[in-house]
Structure 1
Amino acid sequence: MTPAALAELVRNTAVQVLDARGLDTSVLPETVTVERPRNPEHGDYATNLAMQVAKKAGVSPRDLAGWLAEALNSESSIASAEVAGPGFLNLRLAADAQGEIVRQVLGQADSFGVGELYRGRRINLEFVSANPTGPIHLGGTRWAAVGDALGRVLSAQGAEVTREYYFNDAGAQIDRFVRSLVASARGEAVPEDGYGGAYIDDIASAVVDREPHVLELPETERDEVFRRTGVGLMFDEIKRSLHEFGTDFDVFFHEDSLHTSGAVTTAVEQLKESGSLYHAEGAWWLRSTEHGDDKDRVVIKNDGEPAYIAGDIAYQRDKRSRGFDLCLYMLGADHHGYVSRLKAAAAAMGDDPATVEVLIGQMVNLVSGGQPVRMSKRAGTVVTMEDLVEAVGVDAARYSLIRSSVDSPVDIDLDLISKHTNENPVFYVQYAHARLSSLQRNAASLGIDRGAVAEADLSLLTHDREGDVIRTLGEYPRVVRAAAELREPHRIARYLEELASAYHKFYDACRVLQPGDDRPGALTIARLHLCEAARQVLANGLALLGVSAPEQM
């Protein structure tokens, strides 16, 4: 019995208990909360339902808890229900009811944990969106890992997710990039406001190889060649790096297209007509303070050129025109002001601000030997995605970036995540999966066929360590749902570490395969099914993180 099934049983029982005493059943919540107590001696699960609704029902919490305990003790799936403290209810599942979790995992296999929370919703998930003026730095790398994992988690809850990369190919940063390429091609020093690093020399050389006479062209034509070819080469490299990192996008949206297509002009005219813009100091301003922003924003500058927010407004309008119910933006730590700005832009266009959601990610620091790692081989001043992958590999890089909440800055210890020991979280989880895979291979080599799980006697799984594994397995669907609802894929990683820990402790305490020529009994078969269920859930969780589940290590 999973926690969700137990919660439903408790609620149904509460309805019967209240109804039998002529009490109002409408005081009950739609979903009852059951949780695993910190102290295992208090039972497998606990609920504070009686304390939550007793006053509304006109009875004491302990009386209501006692009635619930009496009714639940008559259920075959409940080994015991006991009242504790002011009205808590501690529950222990019958052994065969616990075993049903194993049957459910093996029955659903790789779909175990899949839910319906966002069934029918179309979500545009925009992340990374690094400027095409250099390799992806660590901040973008964090979003590449977290954003991809979040997309997987949202999809696992039924959403139709479109992963989108906003390609900033308009604006002053592209002009600086072009000037840097030209300077490199001419053997000159990096412009004062330009970009440095070996990658600039590489791209400049590639442009010259493709267009041998480019430096002989008039300045305007020359710069256009470097712009078109250089930006294209940089963007191709960014896409390649992302793909090798396990992160692919459905849409690469070009900022420049908003300007060349007239989308920005159309959006601005729409705002003028609706009265959402006003003219002052020679510029056009968005009345963003009317929608919660801290100040009004310039949309068209006094020189007639659009400000950056003009593109944001047109972009949001474009996303909604494509039919997305929710537009999720994942932005860096220096973009806090964009939260209210983007919501204000949506509201000004007549949209519900709730269709816009902005996640802000904090900084990533690399340390080695207790000291910060700052220099990149190619970028010269920052650590890039390729630097991190080269140092520790894709799996360790992704996992270490995902396992911490994006709300907090994170220090990545290169020495730790390079270790093949249980100190390294990703190794710890992957090793548990490999160990479980090896166990099944060993059983097969001994001629042991665990058979169909429906025929196994899972009520034999009564050891405390077996119960720990089973109850942890049962938590997985709830963890996936919470990770999607709260936009926190790190919950998956932390859960996997908990499951790996429960399994390692079980393995140390409970022998699965018997020594010598002993014929495997029903307990061996039950434990093999339990181990396969644990392996399956580890594989499912790692897949949501985009991390491999090795069968050998």
Structure 2
Amino acid sequence: MDMKEILKSGIEQALQETINSGGLPAGEYPEIVLEVPPQKEFGDFSTNIAMQSARVARQNPRAIAETLISHMDFDWLERAEVAGAGFINFFLKSDMVYDTLKAILNAGDQYGVQPLRARDTIQVEYVSANPTGPLHVGHGRGAAYGSALVNLLRAAGYNVQSEYYINDAGNQIDNMAISIEYRFQELQGATLVFPPKRNEDGSMPEFDIPEGALVFPFPENGYRGPDIIETAKAIAEREGFDKLNAMNEADRVALFKEEGLKEKLARLEETLSNFRVTFDNWFSERTVHEADEIHHSVEALKALGKVYEKDGALWLKSTDYGDDKDRVVIRDNGVPTYLAADIAYHRNKYDRGFKEMIDIWGADHHGYVCRVKAAMAAFGYDPDKLTVLLLQMVALFRDGQLVKLSKRSG
């Protein structure tokens, strides 16, 4: 027990001895509350238990305080004094303070750690950056925050599972694979031309195509970082240029997609491990697609009357749960939105039976909080079991100019 618990136990003992000796009548006395006095001359701790007990004991608070003090003969107590209308101020022996400090030092990093409560399950999902390039300092902030939160919750006795949600499905992975393909062609002498930024109206400005450009243009949504060049070179050296050139483009891009994803994930895990951040579970978005969980989730919402059709698309009735407008879950071309995948993933989380779930997102995802919670409420889950914490990205400047943090731009 810490010093406050020892003192509280001592007051309870003194109160019971006073009742047993007839100094106070039996009854239901209030809970003992300890406070640290504002000034050191008033002692190390103070309690108003005598004042709070006056109604039960039908005695003057100062008289109650004096009686309690008379039953306090503890080896850790230097003295106790009555103050004001009936406060009791406690002055502890200095040895007790030193012993507490020794106990803290002896306990080391286990000081304050509570026993595991296996039933108090919490899942914390954080970082979850797209596996398309190296992590940057913005991701590092989320990694540090999430890891510290996991460690604190575990020290408090919670049964915590940390999870990284791998966004290994969708356009960003396809764009990465195509980017590797173009860099592979560049390794063999092709000239790549990078399109400039779009005009304010969204149109693409005219630009010159160098004569002899064998591959044109580099995808507008491609990944331009030097890591893609390294990936293309590593795969080409491992698989062999002849083998890769003998494949048709579609098969080669498919290989680049799988091999590139493996390499990026390995680099992510290595970087996080060097940062002393590890995860209990790496959850692949692909498993949600392969198990057709998106379709099942949308059909379940439809059966509950929470989804309707409009303009050929399927819409979630998120306004029923506080959202400012309803949201598309299946586009008019039959392709699920990112929200649909998030809904299926979070439904999977709820079905795994955690008592509480915490997501740590970048502030640019704030609009999704209400949508995901709305979908969980529509399923009949308790949306308050999901807490979303938002982290603002760091801002970096070079020569007075803001530097954008982006895997896509490198």
Q: TM-score, normalised by structure 1?
A: 0.58
1:238 offset after TM fit, Å?
Answer: 0.7
In structure 2, distance between residues paired with 1:295 and 1:55: 58
In structure 2, distance between residues paired with 1:141 and 1:171: 24
Question: 2:9 maps to what in 1?
Answer: 9
Question: 1:159 maps to what in 2?
Answer: 158
Cα 1:371/1:269, change in 2 over 3 Å: same
Cα 1:201/1:119, change in 2 over 3 Å: same
In structure 2, distance between residues paired with 1:361 and 1:192: 28
Question: 2:361 maps to what in 1?
Answer: 331
Match of 1:205 among 233, 242, 252: 233
Q: Deviations over 1:265-314 (max 9, x none)?
A: 11121111122222233222222233333333222222221111211221
Return the index of the structure with the highest Cα Rg. 2
Cα 1:97/1:171, change in 2 over 3 Å: same
Counterpart mapping for 1:229-378 below 5 A: 229-365=259-395, 374=403
Question: 1:189 maps to what in 2?
Answer: 193
Query: Would the aligned equivalents of 2:132 and 2:407 in 1 still touch at CA under 8 Å?
Result: no
Quote the sequence identity (%). Answer: 37
In structure 2, distance between residues paired with 1:310 and 1:380: 24
In structure 1, distance between residues paired with 2:98 and 2:155: 25
In structure 2, distance between residues paired with 1:363 and 1:66: 60
In structure 2, distance between residues paired with 1:189 and 1:84: 83
In structure 2, distance between residues paired with 1:113 and 1:381: 45
Query: Would the aligned equivalents of 2:50 and 2:64 in 1 still touch at CA under 8 Å?
Result: no
Q: Which letter does structure 1 place at the counterpart of 2:120?
A: R
In structure 1, distance between residues paired with 2:167 and 2:100: 48
Q: Which letter does structure 2 place at the counterpart of 1:344?
A: A
Question: 1:44 maps to what in 2?
Answer: 44
Q: Which letter does structure 2 place at the counterpart of 1:151?
A: V
Cα 1:132/1:3, change in 2 over 3 Å: same
SS in 1 for 2:283: strand
Cα 1:142/1:38, change in 2 over 3 Å: farther
What runs of 5+ residues in structure 1 fail to find an aligned partner?
383-553
SS in 1 for 2:333: coil
In structure 2, distance between residues paired with 1:360 and 1:226: 34
Cα 1:99/1:233, change in 2 over 3 Å: same
SS in 2 for 1:170: coil
1:210 offset after TM fit, Å?
Answer: 2.9
The yes-or-no answer on 1:132 pairing with 2:131 is yes
Q: Deviations over 1:350-377 (max 9, x none)?
A: 2122321211122324579x9789589x
CA RMSD of aligned residues (A): 3.8
In structure 1, distance between residues paired with 2:245 and 2:389: 44
Q: Deviations over 1:209-267 (max 9, x none)?
A: 23324355333223212211112211111111111111111211111211121111111
Q: Deviations over 1:120-154 (max 9, x none)?
A: 22222111101111111222111222222222222
Query: Would the aligned equivalents of 2:125 and 2:358 in 1 still touch at CA under 8 Å?
Result: yes
In structure 1, distance between residues paired with 2:47 and 2:324: 43
Cα 1:18/1:349, change in 2 over 3 Å: farther
Q: Which letter does structure 2 place at the counterpart of 1:2?
A: D
Cα 1:275/1:88, change in 2 over 3 Å: farther
Q: Which letter does structure 2 place at the counterpart of 1:194?
A: G
In structure 1, distance between residues paired with 2:404 and 2:87: 56
In structure 1, distance between residues paired with 2:397 and 2:69: 54
SS in 1 for 2:389: strand
Q: Deviations over 1:495-536 (max 9, x none)?
A: xxxxxxxxxxxxxxxxxxxxxxxxxxxxxxxxxxxxxxxxxx
In structure 2, distance between residues paired with 1:174 and 1:123: 30
Q: Which letter does structure 1 place at the counterpart of 2:121?
A: R
Question: 2:121 maps to what in 1?
Answer: 122
In structure 1, distance between residues paired with 2:54 and 2:253: 75
Query: Would the aligned equivalents of 1:43 and 1:90 in 2 still touch at CA under 8 Å?
Result: yes
Cα 1:21/1:126, change in 2 over 3 Å: same
Cα 1:97/1:235, change in 2 over 3 Å: same
SS in 2 for 1:121: strand
1:196 offset after TM fit, Å?
Answer: 1.9
1:160 offset after TM fit, Å?
Answer: 2.2
1:328 offset after TM fit, Å?
Answer: 1.5
In structure 2, distance between residues paired with 1:269 and 1:14: 65
Query: Would the aligned equivalents of 1:18 and 1:24 in 2 still touch at CA under 8 Å?
Result: no
Cα 1:374/1:275, change in 2 over 3 Å: same
The number of equivalent residue pairs is 373
Cα 1:117/1:359, change in 2 over 3 Å: farther
Q: Which letter does structure 2 place at the counterpart of 1:5?
A: E
Question: 2:254 maps to what in 1?
Answer: 224
Q: Deviations over 1:366-421 (max 9, x none)?
A: 579x9789589x96967xxxxxxxxxxxxxxxxxxxxxxxxxxxxxxxxxxxxxxx
Q: Which letter does structure 2 place at the counterpart of 1:202?
A: E
Query: Would the aligned equivalents of 1:6 and 1:34 in 2 still touch at CA under 8 Å?
Result: no
1:35 offset after TM fit, Å?
Answer: 4.8
Cα 1:214/1:66, change in 2 over 3 Å: farther
Query: Would the aligned equivalents of 1:115 and 1:158 in 2 still touch at CA under 8 Å?
Result: yes
SS in 2 for 1:186: helix
Query: Would the aligned equivalents of 1:293 and 1:341 in 2 still touch at CA under 8 Å?
Result: yes
Cα 1:175/1:339, change in 2 over 3 Å: same
The yes-or-no answer on 1:71 pairing with 2:71 is no
Counterpart mapping for 1:427-446 below 5 A: none
What runs of 5+ residues in structure 2 fail to find an aligned partner?
187-191, 195-218
Query: Would the aligned equivalents of 1:35 and 1:46 in 2 still touch at CA under 8 Å?
Result: yes
Q: Which letter does structure 2 place at the counterpart of 1:44?
A: D
SS in 2 for 1:120: strand
Higher relative contact order (CA 8 A, sep 6+): 1
Query: Would the aligned equivalents of 1:36 and 1:45 in 2 still touch at CA under 8 Å?
Result: yes
Q: Which letter does structure 2 place at the counterpart of 1:278?
A: Y
**Which one is further off, 90-99 or 229-238?**
90-99
In structure 2, distance between residues paired with 1:321 and 1:192: 39
In structure 2, distance between residues paired with 1:89 and 1:175: 71
1:66 offset after TM fit, Å?
Answer: 7.6
In structure 1, distance between residues paired with 2:372 and 2:77: 51
Question: 1:420 maps to what in 2?
Answer: none
Q: Which letter does structure 2 place at the counterpart of 1:297?
A: R
1:194 offset after TM fit, Å?
Answer: 2.3
